Amino acid sequence: MVPTLPDLLRHFARTTPAAPCVSFGQETLDFLALERRSNRVAALLHDHGVNPGDRVAFIARNLPEHYELFYGCARAGAILLPLNWRLSPGEVAQIINDAQPALILVADEFLPLLKETQTACPVIVSDREYVIMRDATSAAEQGRTIARDDVALILYTSGTTGQPKGVVLTHGNLALVDRMAREKWGFSSASVNLVALPLFHIGGIGYGMMALSQGGHSVIVQQPSPEAVIASIHQHHITHLFLVPAVLQTLLDAPGVDTMDLTSVQRIMYGAAPITEQLVKRAIRVFGCQFNHAYGMTETAGTVITSEPADHDPGGPLAHRLRSCGRPVPWVELDLVDPTTGASVATGEVGEVCVRSPMIMAGYWQKPSETLAAKNADGWLKTGDAALMDVDGYVYLQDRYKDMIISGGENIYPTEIENVLNNLPGVSEVAVIGVPHDKWGETPCACIVPTGDAALTESAVVAFARDHLAHYKCPTKVVFVRSLPRTAAGKVMKRAMRGEAWIKDHT
């Protein structure tokens, strides 16, 4: 039986209690300290009436509290609900209304995000009241047994309908972090892992457990700026890090990076957005370490397909594998199917990526019909991504059947933006597509058919979007077109809209 993450924390708290576990700023917690804090959190939750199965919302930048809350919730049988602090107050209110947490912890700077939230549950300011309350409780070990089917996390992701969906992940889903870290990504008790992605993302909190699962050291930064990443590498002798392509690009563009001492870095994982071969080749040259490409999603509790360091050989006979996201890991079944018929496609043909694994989510929170649409009765998850597989089992992503935009590692659903812009006076029709962006990989572009008497401007459209949505979701480009291409059934053909030629011909 694969141990759960709380099992592993307890193990290392007993066997290597003084080993560094989590660092942030000038503070370092060893394994015993994190275990004791998690017990205190469990006691705090109990004192506030949080029962098994209840949700505990947390809104803050990356902090050690994410870890102690994750394990403390597990000890109490509660579910951690880390929320994206980049959302608007309306978006936060929508999620809170859906998840109905029993307790909300929020950093002081993000209290304004709750101004549209209507809930009777207690609210604790995390950087004032929480620490005092936590430290006033007992650090005695909590005796509750954690089952693999117990829900550990609910991570919200916008749906294709524009409505947020809570992805329900169990302790069993997350338990395979241990094997991924050890078997595929080279982690050990000597590893020092940089956790730079937001801990409200699976790429943050899931990847952030890699070193911990092996008794290693995790170093948290709040923003993956080149300065913060480089400073952490030098201060903590970072061995492992996960970067989205946009961050990797800014790191490689940092002044003097070519001559810096980066020899502590053993492996870099990258993914969550499209990446160019040129960027990968440059990263290999500058860092001189091992690389893994990672493909996964919130619904898969993290990476299900990964490339090996041996697949990163720009000058070798298999250089084409730089364009692949790799092969499925051993505990994942993969099939490429025709999305219309459900039949498997032949080798070399494009089909929808479907996966089955103990990592696959339990479902979407309180959305049984949407769960069934994504995950069938046999446990196969439809990802919505189109890919082909070669004779050696390497997967090459081609496009997305869904219209999701990935900008700097953030998932953006066009419908959500369209729902907002349709309320802007002067907009007759709108369709949002992803267009290439030098820094972020993709960025939203709003194609608007204005009403006859409208005097809309690009700045006015962007400003309206920013009043209602997180800024990273807002279009950075707006074009005014005469019409939108549609099928006979009236559906907008977004694939036909991609590319400068169509926009030029229709403006």
- Give, for all 507 residues of the chain, the pLDDT tens digit: 789 999 999 999 999 999 999 999 999 999 999 999 999 999 999 999 999 999 999 999 999 999 999 999 999 999 999 999 999 999 999 999 999 999 999 999 999 999 999 988 999 999 889 999 999 998 888 777 899 999 999 999 865 456 789 999 999 999 999 999 999 999 999 999 999 999 999 999 999 999 999 999 999 999 888 999 999 999 999 999 999 888 898 899 899 998 899 999 999 999 876 677 888 899 999 999 999 999 999 999 999 999 999 999 988 888 889 989 999 999 999 999 998 899 999 999 989 999 999 999 999 999 999 999 999 999 999 999 889 999 999 999 876 666 778 888 887 888 789 889 988 999 988 999 998 888 888 899 999 999 877 789 999 999 999 999 999 999 999 999 988 887 645 567 887 887 666 777 666
Q: Say what the pLDDT of residue 161 is.
A: 53
Give the relative orientation of helices 5-15 and 64-76 as an angle to the nearest 10 degrees. 110
Q: Say what the pLDDT of residue 274 is.
A: 66
Continuous segment of H or E residues that includes residue 36: helix 31-47
Looking at the structure, give the CATH architecture of the domain made up of residues 1-171.
3-Layer(aba) Sandwich (3.40)
How far apart are alpha carbons 17 and 127 in whole angstroms? 26
Q: Say what the pLDDT of residue 207 is.
A: 96
Q: Give the C-alpha distances (Å, rounded to integers) separating 18 from 28, 29, 30, 138, 189.
A: 11, 9, 5, 20, 13
Asked whether the CA dihedral 218, 220, 224, 229 is positive or negative, the reply is negative
- Hey, what are 93's tokens? 């209110």
- Hey, what are 390's tokens? 């070669």
Residue extents of the structural domains in the chain: 1-171, 405-506
Asked whether the CA dihedral 85, 7, 297, 96 is positive or negative, the reply is negative
- Hey, what are 99's tokens? 């998840």
Residue linked to tokens 């209690």? 17
Strands 405-407 and 441-450: unpaired
The count of C-alpha atoms lying within 13 angstroms of the C-alpha of 375, restricted to the half-sphere facing its C-beta, is: 18
The conformation of residue 111, written as its DSSP 8-state character, comes to: G
Q: Residue 381 in 3-state DSSP?
A: strand
Q: Say what the pLDDT of residue 182 is.
A: 97
What is the reported pTM? 0.86
Q: Are 39 and 139 in contact (CB under 8 A)?
A: yes
The class of domain 405-506 in CATH terms is alpha beta
Residues in the chain: 507
How far apart are alpha carbons 65 and 34 in whole angstroms? 10
How far apart are alpha carbons 461 and 448 in whole angstroms? 10
How far apart are alpha carbons 217 and 188 in whole angstroms? 9
How far apart are alpha carbons 233 and 227 in whole angstroms? 10
How far apart are alpha carbons 100 and 55 in whole angstroms? 7
How far apart are alpha carbons 128 and 240 in whole angstroms? 33
How far apart are alpha carbons 444 and 405 in whole angstroms? 7
